[in-house]
Chains A and B, each alone.
Chain A
């Protein structure tokens, strides 16, 4: 009992919390700007994008007789989406490591912020036949990167100049220079949108 008390005494901070008995973590999913290797487990991010999903897990020693599940404190702030939580409103959202019997063994707060900009890393030009990977990074109003898995929609203003690979659904898009000219590459994630011109030419 005394050791478990340490668990709750040790979780006053939001995000990246560790306790002697266990810790919250996140299973990396496609489209998450905070991780690049799907399936791996990382630390609970402190700041998440509105609309993003996180598969949060609690790992540690057995502290109750029933399995521990992670749930949001409020459906007003986050809703269950399969094994993940989707954060629906800006603010702070507590996540609870809770047994089926209703005992809470740990808690943490995630801060949820709106996407202010989508930063794009893209080449200014491509040669015909050349491909490149474009990366989108959601950021808040203070230019801080936002974590969480989002749905991205990529498009080209002129596919005869720059084509977007049809498999480009996450924050990374594969584009191909097709014919000479300039096309605008656009990405949308939630209410955020960003565009960048890409010129296709034999010589820049």
Chain B
């Protein structure tokens, strides 16, 4: 009985914790440019090499589908020394670029509110002497 209560408590705690640990930011990142090295751009992970840049459309999702309800998406970097995120002149378009090898997050805002963080890893190109 004690074990069952413990399991139920653990399951409840896990379900309560789930929203805080879910990295699904509710957006889709569609690249507009073709970077010369492999780059991963999803709502749950970004992997890019230092020195590489890619322009992306940040499209809000609703129920897993692209939403056109006027939601304004903004992306920023939690550490511009690792990964850069700058807006393009067109709404919803951003340029993401690797600055230095390391990890940081790309923070997603929906209509000015934080919607989530996308973990980002910036890789070394491996060519440094």
Residues of A within 8 A of B (CB): 1-2, 4-5, 7-9, 11-14, 63-64, 72-78, 89-94, 96, 98, 102-105, 107, 109, 111-112
Contact = CB atoms under 8 A, between A and B. Distances in A.
Contact of B125 (A1, A9, A89, A102): A89
Interface residues of B, number: 32
Contacts of B33: 8-9, 11-12, 107
A11 B35 CA distance: 10
Nearest to B97: A73
Contacts of A91: 49, 51, 125-127
A109 B52 contact: yes
A54 to B, nearest CB: 15
B55 A92 contact: no
B50 interface: yes
Given A91-B127, A94-B53, A111-B36, 19 more contacts: A1-B91, A4-B90, A5-B32, A8-B33, A72-B51, A74-B51, A76-B50, A76-B99, A89-B51, A90-B125, A92-B36, A94-B51, A94-B52, A98-B86, A103-B89, A104-B55, A104-B88, A105-B89, A107-B95
Interface string B24-66: 0000000011111100000000000111110100000000000
B35 A8 contact: no
B36 A74 contact: no
Given A74-B97, A103-B89, A8 B32 contact: yes
Nearest to B87: A103
Contacts of B36: 14, 92, 109, 111
A92 B33 CA distance: 15
Contacts of A13: 34
Contacts of B51: 72-74, 76-78, 89, 91-94
A113 B32 CA distance: 26
A76 B97 CA distance: 12
A151 B31 CA distance: 38
A105 B88 contact: yes
B37 A63 contact: no
